[in-house]
Structure 1
Amino acid sequence: GSKKEKILRMTLYISDIHLWDKVDAVYTEFFGEHKPARTIVPTNELHFGFKIEIDAIAYI
């Protein structure tokens, strides 16, 4: 029931720090001028072999 413009904070877990540039490019394209607070956490492996996991806080 919310919108991407109402996202306040994002935590992105990435399985490899070398993915940083790709993740940043997609993030920037998706959000445009809206800039929610962001933390990117490099990890080792993620569950099920995923390369990225995202936790978002938004309001409605």
Structure 2
Amino acid sequence: MELLNPENAPKAVGPYSIAVKSNGFIFVSGQLPVDVETGEFIKGDIAKATTTILNNIKNILESAGSSVNKIVKVNVFMTDLSKFDEFNKAYGDFFNGHKPARAAIQVAALPKGADIEIEAIAEA
């Protein structure tokens, strides 16, 4: 098992790894909408938050030698599923035809007051 904490990804907000590489897979921990370049925390714009998170996941996977096209499963946690259509458009635009298995779940709250958190599993 290899613990991954790439420089081009948001830092963990607790005692965990950003991602773990094991048995041919990369397990990316839940990512919050933090723009790594500016440090901006995206709140109130679900499309921008979604794209920011997915770009961070892309950076994490690429730093481990994988890619978003190797994602097999995505779990999405949102505090307001009434914004699902906005999320889904940004998500679809990002993946551009690649369709990993996915779950989208409404939760009462997320760390740091985020509107959305996304985790992914990809082939290494």
TM-score, normalization by structure 1 = 0.93
Mapped pair 1:10 → 2:103: no
Cα offsets for 1:9-32 (capped at 9, x unmatched): 000000111121111011100001
Cα offsets for 1:10-55 (capped at 9, x unmatched): 0000011112111101110000110000100011111111011111
Name which structure has the greater RCO, CA cutoff 8 Å, separation 6+: 1
Q: Distance in 1 between matches of 2:100 and 2:78?
A: 18
Counting aligned pairs with the same residue, the percent is: 37
Mapped pair 1:59 → 2:119: no
- The number of equivalent residue pairs is 60
Secondary structure in 1 aligned to 2:66? coil
Q: Which structure has the greater CA radius of gyration?
A: 2
Q: Normalized per residue, which structure has more strand?
A: 1
5+ residue gaps, structure 1, are none
5+ residue gaps, structure 2, are 1-64
CA RMSD across the alignment: 0.8
Show the counterpart of 1:24: 88
TM-score, normalization by structure 2 = 0.47
